[in-house]
């Protein structure tokens, strides 16, 4: 990790000035990480199509209710989904419209 000759200090300094705070970068990475699991990305995609309760998500993805609940917690913590309780049933939906845009942009990358 010694300073190498190939390093242009000015260029590095330029970029360093533009870097966001560690808190913001942490949140950014954590948001991507929350979406970076097959089960969770399927849940988020499904919720981008329709509001669903926990049992419906489990049935749709053919996984256990417990697994769904655990993953919904991760998504809730990152404010990617929100819940609304009606009696015994808890319905989940995307937290905001940006999540939809995020999905769409990523699909665009994957498709090309």
What are the residues binding a second copy (CB under 8 A)?
Answer: 1, 3-4, 6-8, 11-12, 14-16, 18-20, 24-38, 40-42, 45-46, 49-50, 52-53, 55-56, 58-60, 63-65, 79, 88-89, 96, 98-99, 101-103, 105-112
As a dihedral over the C-alpha atoms of residue 67, residue 27, residue 38, residue 54, rounded to 10 degrees, the angle is 40
How many residues in the shown chain lie near DNA by CB under 7 A? 31
Locate 80 and state its tokens.
Answer: 């990617």
Among positions 40-69, residues that touch DNA (CB under 7 A) are: 53-55, 63-69
Locate 39 and state its tokens.
Answer: 């089960």
Tell me which DSSP letter residue 37 carries. S
Among the candidate windows 8-16, 17-25, 84-92, 98-106, which touches DNA by CB under 7 A?
A: 84-92
Please say whether the beta carbons of 81 and 51 come within 8 A. Answer: no
d(CA 38, CA 63): 12
Please say whether the beta carbons of 52 and 91 come within 8 A. Answer: yes
Asked if 5 interacts with DNA (CB under 7 A), we say yes
Distance in Å, CB of 73 to a second copy, minimum: 17
Which chain residues interact with DNA by CB under 7 A?
4-7, 33, 36-39, 53-55, 63-74, 83, 85, 87-91
């Amino acid at each position: 990790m010694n300073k190498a000759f190939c390093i242009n200090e000015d260029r590095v300094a330029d970029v360093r000035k533009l870097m966001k705070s560690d808190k913001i970068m942490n949140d950014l990475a954590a948001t991507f990480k929350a979406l970076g699991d097959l089960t969770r990305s399927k849940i988020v995609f499904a919720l981008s199509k329709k509001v669903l309760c926990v049992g419906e998500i489990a049935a749709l993805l053919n996984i256990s209710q417990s697994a769904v609940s655990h993953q919904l917690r991760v998504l809730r913590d990152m404010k990617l989904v929100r819940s609304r309780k009606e009696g015994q049933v808890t319905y989940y939906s995307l937290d905001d419209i940006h999540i939809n845009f995020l999905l769409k942009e990523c699909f665009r990358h994957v498709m090309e």
